Amino acid sequence: MTNWLEMQGKSFYESTARERAFNLMNEGTYRELAGPELAITSPHLPALGEAVSFDDGVVTAVGKIGNRPVFMISQEGRFIGGSVGEVGGAKMVGAFMSALALYEKAKEKYPGDEKCTPAVIISFDTGGVRLHEANAGLLAHAEVMEQIQFCRGKIPVISLVGSRVGCFGGMGFVAAATDMLIMSELGRVGLTGPEVIEEVMGKKEFNASDRALIYRTTGGKNRYIMGDCAYLVEDSIQAFRAKLAEVLALPLDQISSSRSIGSMDLVTMQLERTRLAAQLKPKDARDVWAYFGNTDPDALTDMYCNDFLQKAKTARRGGS
C-alpha cells in the first residue's frame, strides 16, 4: 500500500476502494475483513461468462478514526460499476453485524461512553443492484437497510460520496437511510442514473452527455443546498478523513440529527419539497437555488468548495 502520509492529499475521486478505506483510518490501525487472501468471489458471474474479482468489488475493514473504532465498507466502481451482488452484500452485512457485536461488548465494558462504541462508514461507488445477480442484489440491499435500522440509537452510520460512479439505484436509498451524508462536489447521489433517464424519457428530458447538467442535478453542491448532504468537503482523502474525525467526536444524537429520512417531521419536509417542485416547475437546479436566496446561482456552479460554502444559501439556513 502506498505511503499513508503521501496518500492523504490524493483525490478521493481518483482513489480505489482499498485506498479510500486504508487511508481514511488512522495510520497503522487498518485490518481488512474477508480480505484478498480469501479470494471470496461471486458464484454467479462465471456461469454468465463474466470475470470475477477477488473481493467482489467491496472492501470491508476495521480500524480507528481519531479515537473512535470504525468499521469501513468501501465499494469499487471499477468492477462492474460498483454493483452489489450476493458476496459484496454479504460482506457489507457482515461489517454491520461485527459493529453491532462490538457495540454490545463496549456498552457492557464502558457504560455510557459513546467514544468507545464503534461507527460504520460506507464509502459509496456504485450504480446499485448487479443485474447479473438481480434477486441476490436486491436482497442484499434490503439486508443492509435492515442493519441500518438495527443500528438506530446505538451506533452512527455515515455515508461518504465522492467517487467516480457516485451512488445510484438502490444504494441511493441506503445512503439516504444513514445518519449523515458527507460529499465532495464531484460526488453524485440519485435513484436513477442519467443514462437510464435519457433512455426512458428522451434526451430532451435529460441529456446524459451534459456533464454540467448532471452535476447540477445529482452532484454535491445541489445535495448540499437542498439539505440532503450535511457537509461538503474538498476532493481529497485528507478532507474526508478530517471531517469524519470531527463528526465522530460528536454525540450520537447530534450526528443522527442530520438524517434525511426516518421521522414524521422529515416526511413532512419532503412533502413540502414535492409541493415546491410542483409550484416552481424548475427547468434546472439553479431555479431552486435561486428560490433559497442565491441571487447569482450561475456563479455557484464554478466556485471552489470553500468559496461555495461561504456564499451558498441552503434550505437549512433560509427557504422552506
What tens digit of pLDDT does each residue of 190-243 get? 998 888 899 999 988 889 899 999 999 999 999 999 999 999 999 999 999 999
- Identity of the amino acid at 100: L
As beta bridge partners, residue 182 has 160, 231
Q: Is the dihedral of CA 246, 304, 206, 198 positive or negative?
A: negative
Q: Is residue 233 a part of any domain in this protein?
A: yes
Q: Is residue 45 a part of any domain in this protein?
A: yes
Q: Is residue 140 a part of any domain in this protein?
A: yes
For residue 318, pLDDT beyond 50: no
Angstrom distance (rounded) from CA 102 to CA 64: 13
Instruction: Record the cell numbers describing residue 75, joined without a space.
Output: 465499494
Residue 166: which CATH number?
3.90.226.10
Least confident of 35-49, 69-83, 156-170: 35-49
How many angstroms separate the Cα of 29 from the Cα of each of 109, 217, 286?
Answer: 21, 37, 43
Mean pLDDT estimate for the chain: 93
Mean pLDDT of 244-263: 94
Containing H/E element for 146? helix 134-151
Single pTM value for the model: 0.95
Q: Residue 40: which domain range?
A: 4-189+228-262
Q: Is residue 276 a part of any domain in this protein?
A: no
Centroid of chain to Cα 300: 23
Confidence bin at 320 (pLDDT 50/70/90): very low
**pLDDT attached to residue 74:** 98
Per DSSP, the residues of 22-61 read HHHSPTT--EEES-GGG----SSTGGGT----TTTTEEEE
8 Å CB contact between 89 and 137 = yes
- What domain count does the chain have? 1
